[in-house]
């Protein structure tokens, strides 16, 4: 198994690697978007709480 033939995918490199790339992007987005949004929301709520105190 050499790396060059692994990346070449028997001539189907474009189709195979584009598939894996898009899948990775979608799955990462769906995982990290709610984490980032939650952190933002918690920060906002903390600020609001401090202002009311």
In the complex, which residues of this chain contact other proteins (CB under 8 A)?
A: 1, 6, 9-12, 15-16, 18-20, 22-23, 26-27, 29-31, 34-35, 37-38, 41-42, 45-46, 49
Are the beta carbons of 44 and 36 closer than 8 angstroms?
no
What is the C-alpha separation between 18 and 16, in angstroms, rounded? 6
User: Nearer Cβ to other proteins, position 4 or 35?
Assistant: 35
Q: How far is the CB of 40 from other proteins (least distance, A)?
A: 10
User: Nearer Cβ to other proteins, position 4 or 6?
Assistant: 6
> Residues 6 or more apart from 7 whose CB is under 8 A from it?
13, 17
């Amino acid at each position: 198994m050499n790396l060059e033939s692994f990346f070449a995918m028997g001539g189907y490199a474009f189709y195979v690697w584009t598939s894996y790339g898009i899948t990775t992007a979608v799955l990462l987005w769906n995982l990290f978007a709610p984490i980032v949004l939650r952190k933002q929301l918690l920060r906002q709520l903390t600020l609001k709480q401090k202002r009311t105190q």
